[in-house]
Each structure stands twice: as structure tokens, then as C-alpha cells.
């Protein structure tokens, strides 16, 4: 009887160790992603932020080690405070050069504080479909990717995907960024002029007026951008994706 009990205990221990090894291996294969979200004050923006956090709290295990940061500049920040907030009081809240400055500072902190191997710079009015995003990242081994809105040499700022190597280069060479340009143009041009291949073919779904959808790219999209004039409608549209 004692011998049988010992055998059972050994089997249970072996099964536990095997399961732990499988889990560790699976986690090691996951990409660690830092989502850097350009944020602003305002009721609609606060509502979008709430959707982001609710979806983040329901993210699948693939993204368990990933990070979510909301990027704010100077001024009075009336947005509900969360543990995901990053405020940069030295940055004037502005389109040019504020968004670019917040991005560079956040990337610097991200590289120093996390082991993220992918950085995604995005905004509050975006939704990432978790399973499709994971599938894209599993097969992506580039340096810079996104969607070129006009077929030109730059990628849109709502979904700028960068490898850690590319992010590191950008932070170390921020002096090469044209701070008089929009952030996405400045970043894309800096990469393109310095040997980085910028892939502008990443698919995206834009939700336009009256909920109409326009899909760019041939592959299944994983990023949705809500860009109606009525931001309240955008919030309601975003809430439809809470379970995805």
C-alpha cells in the first residue's frame, strides 16, 4: 500500500513538473508588447480609456507579460488616474511637437523599465483584436510596420509597430527627428533615411461615419480605428469589442 502511494505521489509530481515546463515554454514564445497610447483629457477620451482598460483586463494569456501605458503631457490632467498612466510634465500638450515628444520619452522609459521586444504606438480610438494581433506578431520579425495611408513613405500614427532594435535606435537618435512635422511623418522618415525597412502594408479597418467600415490591406486586419466626427458614437462602437 505504501509503495503504491509513493508511486502515485511521484506520478503527480512528474505531471506537475511537465505541465509547468509546457507553460514556461509557451510563455517564452509569447512576444512582450508595450502598447503606448497617446491620451488626452475630455469625457469622450476618458470613456475610450475605460474601454481600453476593460479590454486589457480581459486580454488573453499571450499578452500576460505585456504593458499598457497612457501618455499625457503637461497641464491639468482631469482624466481618471490609473496605474497605466504616464505623465510627462515637460511636454506641452499639442499635436506638434507634443505627440512626438511624449512618444520618445515613453519609449525611453519603456526600454529602460521593461523587456518588451515590440513597441506599438497607438491612440485611444483604436481597438486591437487580441487573437489576430497575436497571430500577426507570431509571424512578424521586421523592424517597423504599419499602414501607409497614402501609399507614401510613412505609416499612420494610430498603429506604429516597432521592434526593440528600432525603438532603441529612435531613442538614441532623437536628434534626427523633425519636430516641425507630424509625429508619424517624422518617425517614418527618420527610419527610412537610416536603413530601416518601413513596411506600410499592415491591414487596418477604419470605422467611418454612420459606422461604415473601410478595410485597407489584403490580410485579415487586427487593428480597428474609430474616426467618426461624433466621438460618443466611436465609444459605443468600441464597446462592441469588449469580448474580443
b/e map 131-155, b = 16+ CB within 10 Å: ebbbebbeeeeebbbbbbbeeeebb
Strands 223-226 and 204-207: parallel
H/E stretch holding 118 reads strand 118-123
How distant, in Å, are the alpha carbons of 15, 28, 155 from that of 23? 12, 9, 36
Dump pLDDT digits (tens) for 64-101. Answer: 999 999 999 997 667 778 899 999 999 999 999 999 99
Alpha-carbon span 99 to 218, nearest angstrom = 30
Q: Give residue 105's pLDDT.
A: 98
The predicted model scores a pTM of 0.86
User: pLDDT (tens digit, 9 = 90+) per residue, 183-233?
Assistant: 999 999 999 999 999 999 999 999 988 878 889 877 789 999 999 888 899
Res 9: pLDDT = 54
Measure the CA–CA gap between 121 and 158, rounded to whole angstroms: 7
> Which pLDDT score is estimated for 211?
79
Please give the average per-residue pLDDT across 1-29, as a whole number. Answer: 48
CA distance 160 to 37: 11
Confidence of residue 23 (pLDDT cuts 50, 70, 90): very low
pLDDT at position 77 is: 67
Q: 6 Cβ partners below 8 Å, 6+ apart?
A: none
In this predicted structure, what is the pLDDT of residue 27? 46
By percentage, how much of the chain surpasses pLDDT 70? 86
Can you give the pLDDT at residue 20? 39
Task: Give the DSSP H or E segment for 207.
Answer: strand 204-207
The arithmetic mean of pLDDT across residues 49-69, rounded, is 97
Smallest CA-to-CA distance from 234 within 48, 43, 54 is with: 48
Mean pLDDT of the chain: 87
pLDDT for residue 19 is more than 50: no
Whether cis (ω within 30° of 0) applies to the bond prior to 130 is no
- What pLDDT shows up at residue 217? 79
Lowest mean pLDDT among 25-29, 118-122, 194-198, 238-242: 25-29
Amino acid at each position: 500500500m505504501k509503495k503504491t502511494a509513493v508511486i502515485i505521489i511521484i506520478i503527480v509530481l512528474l505531471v506537475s513538473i511537465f505541465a509547468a515546463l509546457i507553460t514556461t515554454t509557451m510563455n517564452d514564445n509569447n512576444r512582450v508588447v508595450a502598447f503606448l497610447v497617446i491620451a488626452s483629457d475630455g469625457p469622450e477620451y476618458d470613456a475610450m480609456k475605460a474601454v481600453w482598460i476593460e479590454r486589457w483586463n480581459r486580454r488573453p494569456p499571450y499578452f500576460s507579460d505585456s504593458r499598457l501605458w497612457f501618455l499625457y503631457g503637461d497641464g491639468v490632467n482631469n482624466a481618471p488616474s490609473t496605474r497605466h498612466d504616464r505623465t510627462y510634465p515637460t511636454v506641452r500638450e499639442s499635436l506638434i511637437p507634443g505627440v512626438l515628444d511624449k512618444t520618445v520619452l515613453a519609449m525611453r522609459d519603456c526600454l529602460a523599465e521593461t523587456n518588451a521586444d515590440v513597441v506599438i504606438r497607438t491612440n485611444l480610438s483604436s481597438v486591437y483584436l487580441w487573437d489576430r494581433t497575436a497571430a500577426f506578431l507570431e509571424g512578424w520579425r521586421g523592424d517597423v510596420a504599419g499602414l501607409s495611408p497614402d501609399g507614401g513613405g510613412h505609416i499612420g500614427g494610430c498603429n506604429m509597430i516597432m521592434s526593440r532594435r528600432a525603438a532603441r535606435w529612435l531613442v538614441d537618435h532623437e536628434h534626427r527627428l523633425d519636430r516641425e512635422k507630424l509625429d508619424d511623418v517624422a518617425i517614418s522618415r527618420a527610419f527610412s533615411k537610416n536603413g530601416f525597412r518601413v513596411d506600410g502594408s499592415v491591414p487596418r479597418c477604419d470605422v467611418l461615419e454612420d459606422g461604415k467600415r473601410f478595410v485597407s490591406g489584403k490580410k485579415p486586419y487586427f487593428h480597428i480605428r474609430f474616426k467618426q466626427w461624433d466621438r460618443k458614437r466611436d465609444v459605443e462602437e468600441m464597446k462592441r469589442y469588449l469580448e474580443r
